[in-house]
Amino acid sequence: MVGKVYIVGAGPGDPDLLTLKALRAIEKADVVLYDRLVGDEIIEMLKRMGKELIYVGKNSDERGGRRQEEINELMLKLAKEGKIVVRLKGGDPFVFGRGGVEAEYLAEHGIPFEVIPGVSSINSVPASAGIPLTHPSLSSSILVVTGKDGVERWCESILNGTLVILMGRNNIKEICNRLIKAGRSPNTPIAVIENGTLKNQRVFFGTLKNIADIIEKEDLKGPTLIVVGDVVNVAKKINSVNPKIVSSL
Ligand SMILES: C[S@@+](CC[C@H](N)C(=O)[O-])C[C@H]1O[C@@H](n2cnc3c(N)ncnc32)[C@H](O)[C@@H]1O
């Protein structure tokens, strides 16, 4: 009998941001294949639950290719053995997470699967740094892009609104320069948030002109998300009276 695959979003790292549906799928699972950005505390919890865990993460600088094929084949093999497989990914599986590629593969091979959306870093990480993505007087649009490649493709059209950039830390200098060239003011506020929603979250504020120099001095190793736009100043205001914006319920 063929098993089933659940493609599950684990949220941005904080275990309390795992959804109830994700937890139910994990409880049912015989085996969990997990990615690099699934929070350490979540992995500890899975170990305590006695789950079989297989790490299939890629390094941040690795591209898809062969590695993705191996992950696909492993899911297929386990499902064909009749196992309930949870494919656990950071954030939401369909946002820069190759969840779509894996769903297509499972569909092509006739494997039953379900997708369980997760809390994406897109909105949760800025919120945990006090940055509202929209604001009645500051921004009525949000553009989310990858900062890994194709910077020139999206830069030309961005003059207003909030810009959320995933995977942009290594290209931050080029991103800022291109945005300025495309017409955004060098004084536009920008925030770089490392390890968003986690206890070791750090937020760096600056402008398009100076943020690259600011973060160059810091040793940023965790996942980082960048927010560009006037809404960043709201966080500065909120944080000045309420420095611990991250809920600790
Ligand atoms: C491959 S993308 C995956 C996005 C994920 N599927 C989601 O919905 O959030 C990984 C990027 O998401 C961002 N990211 C994810 N979790 C984060 C966190 N806790 N803090 C800051 N950035 C995060 C970083 O830009 C990281 O390089």
78 and 12 assigned to the same domain: yes
Atom 16 in ligand 1: which residue has the minimum CA distance? 12
Is 122 in a helix, a strand, or coil? helix
- Does residue 248 lie within any of the structural domains? no
- Does residue 246 lie within any of the structural domains? no
Instruction: Mark residue 50 as left, alpha or beta (left: phi above 0; alpha: psi -120 to 50; beta: remaining).
Output: left
pLDDT of residue 249: 54
| Annotated catalytic residue 35 | yes
Instruction: Mark residue 117 as left, alpha or beta (left: phi above 0; alpha: psi -120 to 50; beta: remaining).
Output: beta
Answer for the pair 125, 197: CB distance below 8 angstroms, yes or no.
Answer: yes
Atom of ligand 1 nearest to the CA of 168: 25
Cβ-proximal residues to 238 (8 Å cutoff; 6+ apart), any chain: 130, 245
pLDDT of residue 65: 46
Cβ-proximal residues to 217 (8 Å cutoff; 6+ apart), any chain: none
CB atoms within 10 A of CB 226: 27
| Annotated catalytic residue 167 | yes
128 and 237 assigned to the same domain: yes
- Does residue 69 lie within any of the structural domains? yes
Q: Which residues does ligand 1 sit against, CB inside 6 Å?
A: 12-13, 37, 89-92, 95-97, 120-122, 125, 166-167, 193, 195-197, 223-225
Atom 27 in ligand 1: which residue has the minimum CA distance? 167
Q: How far is the CA of 146 from the centre of ligand 1 (A)?
A: 10
| Annotated catalytic residue 213 | no
Answer for the pair 10, 36: CB distance below 8 angstroms, yes or no.
Answer: no
Q: Which of 89, 119, 149 is the last residue of a domain?
A: 119
pTM attached to this predicted model:
0.91
pLDDT of residue 64: 47
11 and 44 assigned to the same domain: yes
Q: Domain holding 14: CATH number?
A: 3.40.1010.10
- Does residue 137 lie within any of the structural domains? yes
pLDDT of residue 30: 98
176 and 212 assigned to the same domain: yes
Which residue among the candidates 58, 148, 209, 236 is catalytic per the annotation? 58
Q: How far is the CA of 178 from the centre of ligand 1 (A)?
A: 22
Full residue range of the structural domain in which residue 234 is found: 122-241
Looking at the structure of the chain, the number of domains it has is 2
Which residue among the candidates 4, 35, 83, 92 is catalytic per the annotation? 35
Give me the tens of pLDDT residue by residue for the chain, a chain 249 residues long.
999 999 999 999 999 999 999 999 999 999 999 999 999 999 999 999 999 999 999 765 555 445 899 999 999 999 999 999 999 999 999 999 999 999 999 999 999 999 999 999 999 999 999 999 999 999 999 999 999 887 877 877 788 899 999 999 999 999 999 999 999 999 999 999 999 999 999 999 999 999 999 999 999 999 999 999 999 999 988 877 766 655 455
Q: Which of 119, 148, 169 is the last residue of a domain?
A: 119
126 and 115 assigned to the same domain: no
Is 94 in a helix, a strand, or coil? coil
